[in-house]
Structures are given as structure tokens and as C-alpha cells.
Structure 1
């Protein structure tokens, strides 16, 4: 038995490697650079963890996701393997201790973000470590054409000068041919050995259903497939709403989003992982590093931003190789909503220039000055002062951050959250008895309609503006409402810190980086178009469409997707269907959805049959949209 397989059995309790894992391990052990494109669930982490355990020294893992780093470190520690992650929020003194442990404590893995490598003193400490392998996870982040470009990844190639004899292993689950070329070039991989497993997930049935009543369709799917499921939604409120609606329908459901307190996240995650809840309703904050093998169904209730994200999220189903379902539910309004969310909020050069200019004015930075100056920054105050849309402004600041023009601290978040904890009629009664706070309370209720149901992120500057009262007065009213036990109210002193990394040069600065902005905007438009084409195309296998997007042009039809099933299904005998409809209507009046459900036919087929019966005047449609036999 090989040493690699012995380590796999000893620490991970697997009896064999998955496809390509052993070959990748052999390559990095021989000192060569490698590029591994393995689909979601393909076991990428084993490819660097096993060879690192076979050698003296420590493996440096560069990863962009704090949650993923923490999960992998916890996973390694549970196997008695010494691992450390340098995540955000760690103080310098603690960081020094952790790096000392790496150098003198026989640790095997050091996880850190690419931004950490930009700190000179951290890089100096890393240079003194006995590095045996450098693994770059989510390597598509290095590409301007990738779906999650991060400029800090461009600096990773500098490690080549400090560790010329240490192999690099670049790993990703989703990269087009153009992105693949970029990764190799930008990371400075030297004659890398390429490993690419097909993107085909033969056990996943990709289904696209048009559904005006998405909740009804979800109910049908979950009843038919009672195994563990994930439902992806667009926003935090939808998490709570759909989870509550499913509980009302008798399903055990929970929810997960980035705004939940850590304790609640862990509790809800455990309910689902331990199968005390069948369904977890989540935003795309959920899933990275979660490896639950028996997920039967992944349902998306809205259009994803791009095929890459959809493929990764859909790929969280069926990791045990049993048949699974990736379902995308669409309705006619989805295209408009997707364009509104992903395209209409894109930052153009004019708005970027305006944001940068106002940012400098906000902090009174003179032209030619400002380099290395750091300030406390409140996004809501900034947007309120200049009447800027918050989401678009944050995207502009993110772009400036990614281009290293500014550095925006990772702890940036909203400052206040609140929830009304008494019934609405009691709130009305309170307002009538306390008219001084009426305008502020009404502004809160109009702006945040979900504030009775859930803990809601709150913008005090916006409410001050809407109610025409000073912000201090808004905050005073909140304190009073909290005192009277009318609301739960949390105020966190966690404004962002913002550092200017360059001198102020206004348009000259923006002109230098605007070509990247235009390129990224064009990419986002192309990516959304690919999603719309995937949904709209009804004459090609859905699996083939996904594989073609990733460059696999000659794939066979999968035989199990929504297109293939429709193609295989023989058309219902129209006379037999008409007869069945008449039989059902003899007992009771039914609407089209009820008839579709009882006859087990498609929406189009049932409508066609009903139209024929209406034309023959065998049935009529009543004012409540139910059908009845004509007397």
C-alpha cells in the first residue's frame, strides 16, 4: 500500500482516492507545479492535505473565504492534525504568537487570505517557515475574467521569488478556458501539470420549471423527495418567510444567512446536518465548506448571477453519487428582477469617479495628499450626505478596495439591528399616547415592513432623513422603545476603517483602473445572459448547456434533466385526458392547477385540453377560475 493511501486511511478513513487525487498528489510530491480543475464535491482539499502530511514542514494554503478556512482548520484539528488560520479580527500580538507556533510548534497547515500576504511583516515571517507546498484555493479569483476576481490574488505569484523550489498547486471548481489560461499566467505556474475532471455530474438531474406559485411547486418537490434539501433565496427576509411557510405546510425547516448571530447559525446548521430539519432555506452565504453527502435536492427560487455560482450551489446535491435534483424555478418577472439586482446596480466610470471624489471631500483630503491616512467610516452617513444609493456605493467602494486604491476593513457592516416584539395594534396604541415619536416610528414601519417578523438591519441616517428629524433624536427614540420593551435593539460600534493607499489624483486615478471596471461590467452582463439562455432554451439538454459553458462541447444528453424527461415522455392521449377531466369535474369543481396535479400532466398539456373542452362547450369556467361541467 502506498504511503499516501495509508495517510488517507489513517486520518480521513477513506479506503481509496477519488478520480485524479492520487495523480495530483504524486505530481506535487515530485516538486512540480499543478493546476487542478475539479468540480464541486471532487475532494480538492485532499490533494494538498495528504502530500503535506507526507513531508517535513508546513503547507501554506491561500484561501479567500474565512468560513471555508475555519471549517477546514476545525476539520483538520478534529483529526489531530495541527492547523492554524490567520483570519480577520486577530490582533497583532496574537498573530505573532500564531506565527511563532507555525515556526516552532510542528504545525502542518497555515491558512491565510491573499490580503494577508500584502502585509510586509507577515510575509517576512512566512519566509522563515519551512514551507513544503503552496496551495491556492479558489484560484479563479486571480482572473479578471473569473466570477469572483480579487486583485490581491495577483500578488501571490511573488511567493515564487521567495520559494523557488516549492511546488504551487492551484485549485478551482469552476473555470472557463479563458479563466484557466489566466490562472496559469497570473500565478506564474512553471510548466504546470494540468488535471481536469469533466464538469458532468451524471447523477444530478438539472430541472428548470416555470412556476407562478413557487411555494406550491416547492411543496410538491419536497413531498416527493423527503431527503435533506437546500433552498437558495435572494435575501435574508425570504429565508425566514419561506422557512416559516414550509413549517406551516408541515415540513421541518430552518434557515441560514450571513446576518444571523454565530450561535443561531450553528444551531440552525446543526438541525439540518443532523437531519432534525429536512430543509434549510439560505442565501448564497451558505454552503462553502459544507460537505453533506446525502443532499437530495437543491432548489433555487430566483435566477443566479452566473452559471459558475449556480453550478457550485447545485453541486451540493448528490455527493453520495445517488440520483439528485438541481431545480431552478422561474417566473416571467424573474428576468426583470435579476437585471435590477445584478445589472442596474453596476458601477460605471462616471459614478466611480463621483464616489471617489466625494470620498476624498468627505475626509477633507487635498489633491496630491492622503496616502496611508486611515479614518473611521460609516457607509450610511456617507450615502445620506451625498444622496447616494447604498448598494451601488458599496460596490464602488469594493471595486476601489480590490484595485488597492483604498483598503476597507473586513469588519464593515450595518451598525444597528432591531425588531418590534409587541403586536402592531399595541404599537399604534403607543404612538397615540406618545405623539412626539410618531413620525420616526412610522418612518421605521414604512421602510422596514418585516420588522415585526425578524431582526432587521437598520439605517439610522436614512430614517432621520425620511422622518425629517436629527439622527440623535432617532437613536433616542430607539433607546426609549427598548426601555419600554417595545423593540429589541442592538447597536454595534463596528464602523469600517478606511485607508487611502494612494495620493488623491481624482480622474487620473480612476482613468487608470476604469478599463478593469468596464471589463468586469461586460463580463457580468455576459454571465447573466448565459443564465437567461440556460433558462429559456427548451430544445437542448440542460446538462449539455452547462457543460458547453465550461468548454465541453461534445457531451451526450444526460437523459434525466427537465428537457430529456419531456422529450422521452410520450404525449398523453388527448381523448383519454379529456375523459379524465370530465370524470373529475363530475364530482367537484376544480381549477387548472388541481386538474394538472390529479392528472399528472404538464401545465401546457392541461391548458390545451381545457381549451378544447371549452370550445366544445362541454365545460365552462366560473368567476372563481374553477372549471365545471356545462349543465
Structure 2
């Protein structure tokens, strides 16, 4: 039965890895935890059994962009799916929940924050829930690198649905997190399926360099194929992209601040191979199914092995040889440690941010519970003279402490639904030729407009109707005022949602588990990341697998550490004159960095350094931007 569903909707004949074991387990009604690395095909493990069962699969996920993508992909396959997330109006939420009760839908994707609302819990009791899927389930563990308090509400949902099995999925979990996930999700019995995290085709490389851009250009020129370059902030994505384009390497940049249309265009270009390199923050990659990425380069260090492993794992999903390269400079260690006070500002600072938030919204003492407010971090910081990064962190800690919910910036596409019935619509007269034309284009372009909110694109409607975008927008607003449609224009904003009433700043309690213990774990994760890039005696693949509790007795043989050890095992007896000639011969063929030179000429490193210095002093070779050439 499961294979028939797989073939019918996805066109595959067989499952991969542990997919079938997980599907059989949840299909038998057992609480199940699936550990699958990035690219392992997690979504199949809940979508297939859900289609085999009667009723609706509830999917809890914090990734709104991924939620939207999966809902769209399911709909394209003719599978009925809906989603609820921060930023939707109350009416939209009610309509969606009613459709889940009466509309024969198979999937409801929901952000964890929405689980705790009274309206959701009331409607949930009337739904026929077949199974609960908890994606990114490491978020429920306080040991996890991305703990989210809202995930703890899932256990309460299980109380309302006592006989419904839960499938927890994650791509990154240490042994402590694996145990914690099962306890917090109230598993009746421990039940874990692990897919090995080892990637035999992926070579992990750490390059120590003080000229990262020079090394980046050298790697991309030397190595063909599609690439992702990860950097720390939005500004740097644009700078590095401009550098690559200037050097005739096709590239685009991607970060959370871009609008949906721009993201889609850039992602499409990169996936089609029209641009070779995507320069991105960690906002890029979730749900991206591009199997032939040959190289992932980290210009800046992530602050955890979990984040690094997910990002690096986007290379080589097709099974062919690929590289995960980290460029490490002396200042990186200091930069990484500076993130600690930025991520965990002093408690007095956090209390001050909380107090100023009340001034910002003019919130009276005792008010606030249940209030939802749009929030501009930039405006807030300007008014109260804060730096954005620690202020953002303070709001996240206040979220962890249960005083409010601070949602990240969300790009909500325009959406509408018709508030009149189809037959009433045709009775309407005197709307004008343009208005009638626009309505016809909407009806031809989108389905389900009389039963549910649908995402629309004003640019598309403008092209299809022959009207200007502004004219389309003005008419949609007019139709909304006439109560013919309910139209919510595109908006891009974070939200502050008060989860309790405003209290006095001095009464604000930030517990040890929320602050000190999490700070200590954060410091340990940064320490593990620094160890990874500074250790040059242990196979990199073994270091990563050991971190995730996977015992591995063999070296990978392809990381930089293994290759350098291999070089040490086969020393070459060579005179200085012969070595100088060999360097000149190699540089005549191509310009390389000192690190590349050492990889290609397997001799004592001090001897090679001496030969290079001699040739530089004699002017027989030169070094430009850290690249050696004749």
C-alpha cells in the first residue's frame, strides 16, 4: 500500500534508507523518532502514511517558508493541505480550521505558537486527527541548539488526542537531545530509527587563511559545479556576490530580508544552473532540493556544529564527490566568542528592553494578555538607542521566559477570498469593465477562492488583465470595501504577541534554565565549533559523527586531516634545488595558494615554506592577494 502511494504521488518505485522502517512504525500506531540527515527525505516519512490513513495529519513545524513550500507542493500533487502561522487574521484562521473539520483535507501545517490558542484547541476536538508529525523536533529539547518553549505545548495536545501516534523528525540531535525529545513528547515507549550521519562522498575541508576572499575565488575557479557560500549577515551576502560577479562568476544573494518574489526568482535561477553560486545567510537551504551542489563554503563560522552540519550537508546529495569547505582565520575565534554576550545580554539589560517595549506600545500595567502588535526592531532600537543584535536576543530570551512571543520577520504574500457566493457574484452589475475583467482573471487564475484564502500575486494579475499593478491594487481594495472579497495585501513584518499581562520590570523573573543553563550550553557549542576548525589531528568526519553520538572506527580518507596524514606517511626525499624546480613547474601551469601548493607537493612543510620564500625573494615568483604565481 505504501509503495503504491509513493508511486502514485511521487513517481518513485522504492523508499530510501530508513524511510520505510519509519513509515511502518508510525503506520502501526507507534510513537516514532526518526533521525535523518539533511537530504534524507524526511517529508516522505509522514506524508505517505498520512495518505494511507483516514483523517488529517497535524504537522508542527517552526519553519514558515518550508511550511508554505510543502503545502504548495502537496497541492500540486492534488493533495489537500492547509497551514496556520503567525500573521494570519482571526477570520483566516477560523476559515482554515473549519475546512479541516469539514473539507476532507489530509494535512494541516501549524507553527508551534498557534497550538496554545483557545480557538485552535476548540476546533481540534472536532477534527479527525490520524497522526501528529513534529518536524525539527530538537526544538522541544532544552538541550537542543534551537529550543522553543512553544514546542512544550505539543504534550498538552497529546492529552487531547490520547490515541493518536506522534512522529518526531530531526536532522541534528545529540544523544541527550534524542532522549529528551522522547520524554517531552510523552512517548509510550522509546522507539528511534537512526540513519547514519556519515556522508562518504562529502570531503570536509578546513582552510586556514587570512585572505578569505582570495581563497574563495581560487576554490571556485578551480572547482566546477554549483555552490553555496554561507556568510553571517545580510550585508555581506551582497558584498560577496558583487565580488564574484566582478570576477565573472555568476552569483545571486539570498537572505530573510528579501521579498518572496525575489527569493523565488533567485532560487529558481540557481536551481536551474543559470547562476552558479548562491551567497546566503542561514535563511537559505531549508526545503531546497538541489542534488548536484558540488561545494558548500563557509566564509564565517556558524555558532554550532548542528547548524554547520545541516548547511554543509546540502552538498553532494546526488552521491557524487562534493566538498564542504570552511575558511578559518585567526580573528574567527574571537568573533565567535563575542557572540556570547550578544546572544545572552545581561539580565538587567533584558529587563530594560521589556520595560521600553511597554513604553513603545503604551501598554498599561496589567494589560497586554493576548495582544498582537506589529513590530519594527529598527524603529524600536532607534527610539530607545539599542544595538539591534543584543536587543533581538533580549526579545528572544523574553520569549523563552514566557512573557511574550517574538516572531521573526515574516513575508506574508497577498491573499484574498470571496465573501459572496459565486451565483451572487454574477448578479452584481455596474462594477465597470476593468473591475469585471479583474474578477474574471482572478477566477481563471486561482481555484478555491470561495472557500478559503488563497495567495495571489498582483503582478501576475496585472499582466493577465492588461491593467497596471497600481490599478489592480486599487480595485482589490475597492472590492474589499464593498465586501465582495476580503483582501489582505502583502506585508512584511515581525510580531510581538503578549502571552501574559504586563508586569513591573522588577518582578520579571528569568530562570536559571532559561538563562544560565542555556548560556552555558551555547558556550559549549561554540567551543565545539572552535575545536572542529582548530584540530588538525583527528579525521573531520569522525569528529562530526562523534559529536552526534555515532561511533565510527574508520577515518574518511578524504578530509584535509586524512589527506595531510597521508602526505606525512609518504615523505619525499628531495633536494632544495629539485623542490624549487617543482614549485616553479607547478606555478607555470596554474596560480595556487600556499595551502594548495602543500597539498600537491607532498614534502616536509618547513622545507616547502623555505623554498617558496627563496623564490619570492629572488623575484622568480610573486604573491598577489595570497595567490602564488610565476
Give the alignment's TM-score, normalised by structure 2.
0.79
Answer whether contact 1:348 1:518 (CA < 8 A) is retained: no
- 1:609 is aligned to 608
Q: Are the counterparts in 1 of residues 352 and 505 from structure 2 also a CA contact under 8 Å?
A: no
Q: Which moved more, 1:492-501 or 1:145-154?
A: 492-501
1:70-89 pair list within 5 angstroms: 70-89=68-87
Q: Which deviates further from its counterpart, 618-627 or 79-88? A: 618-627
Q: Which SS does the other structure have where 1:510 is aligned? A: coil
CA distance in 1, matches of 2:586, 2:154: 71
The whole-number CA distance in structure 2 between the counterparts of 1:618 and 1:295 is 37
Matched, 1:244 2:225: no
Is 1:501 paired with 2:510? Answer: no
Out of 22, 29, 32, which is 2:30 matched to? Answer: 32
Report how far residue 22 of structure 1 moved. 1.1
1:579 Cα deviation from its structure 2 partner: 2.6
State the partner residue of 1:229.
227
State the aligned residue count: 546
Q: Which residue of 1 aligns with 2:186?
A: 188
**1:11 maps to what in 2?**
9
**Equivalences for residues 103-502 of structure 1 within 5 A:** 103-360=101-358, 371-372=369-370, 377-408=375-406, 410-411=408-409, 496-499=495-498, 501-502=500-501
Partner of 2:293, secondary structure, is coil
C-alpha distance in 2, partners of 1:562/1:24?
A: 35
Closer, same or farther: CA 129–221 of 1 in aligned 2, 3 Å: same
CA distance in 2, matches of 1:132, 1:555: 42
Task: For residue 528 of structure 1, report the CA deviation from its aligned partner.
Answer: 0.5
8 Å Cα contact 2:372-2:495 kept in structure 1: no
Structure 1, residues 578-609: CA drift from partner, whole Å, max 9, x if none? Answer: 43525776999999956776786479966633
The answer to whether the 8 A contact 2:293-2:316 is kept is yes
Deviation at 1:498, TM superposition (A): 5.0
Structure 1: stretches of 5+ with no match in the other structure = 414-490
Give, in angstroms, the shift of residue 387 of structure 1. 3.1
Aligned-partner Cα distance in 2 for 1:208–1:404? 40
Look up the SS of the partner of 1:316 in the other structure: coil
1:197 CA drift (Å): 1.6
Q: Deviations over 1:563-587 (max 9, x none)?
A: 1111123556363564352577699
With 100-109 and 142-151 compared, the bigger mean Cα shift is at 100-109
Counterparts in 2 of 1:535 and 1:408: CA distance versus 1, 3 Å: closer
Q: In structure 2, how many angstroms separate the alpha carbons of the residues matched to 1:7 and 1:344? A: 48
Q: Separation in 1 of the partners of 2:613 and 2:41?
A: 57
Aligned to 2:431: none
CA distance in 2, matches of 1:82, 1:196: 30
Query: 1:479 maps to what in 2?
Result: none
Q: In 1, Cα distance between the equivalents of 2:2 and 2:492?
A: 49
Give CA-to-partner distance per residue, 1:240-266, whole Å, 9 cap, x none.
222222222222222211112222111
Structure 1 contact 21–46 (Cα < 8 Å) conserved? yes
Distance 1:510-1:28 versus aligned 2 partners, 3 A rule: same
Alignment check: 8 A CA contact 1:60 1:133 kept? yes
Q: Which moved more, 1:145-154 or 1:248-257?
A: 248-257
SS of equivalent to 2:278: strand
1:561 is aligned to 2:559: yes
CA contact (8 A) 2:579 2:608 kept: no
| From 93, 98, 101, the counterpart of 2:99 | 101
Measure the CA separation in 1 of the matches of 2:225 and 2:621: 40
66-75 or 383-392, which deviates more: 383-392
Deviation at 1:386, TM superposition (A): 3.9
User: In structure 2, which of residues 514, 517, 520 is the aligned counterpart of residue 516 of structure 1?
Assistant: 514
Task: Write out per-residue CA displacement over residues 364-387 of structure 1, whole angstroms, 9 at most, x where no aligned residue.
Answer: 656666545566654344434443
Structure 2 CA distance for aligned equivalents of residues 222 and 586 of structure 1: 23
Per-residue CA deviations over 1:131-186 (Å, capped at 9, x if unaligned) read: 11100000000011111110000010111111111111111111111111211111
Partner residue of 1:581? Answer: 580
* CA displacement at 1:554 relative to structure 2: 3.8
Structure 2 runs not aligned, ≥5 long:
412-489
Q: 1:594 to 1:126 in 2, by over 3 A?
A: closer
- Normalization by structure 1: what TM-score? 0.79
Alpha-carbon offset, residue 290 of structure 1: 0.7
* Shift in Å, 1:411: 4.9
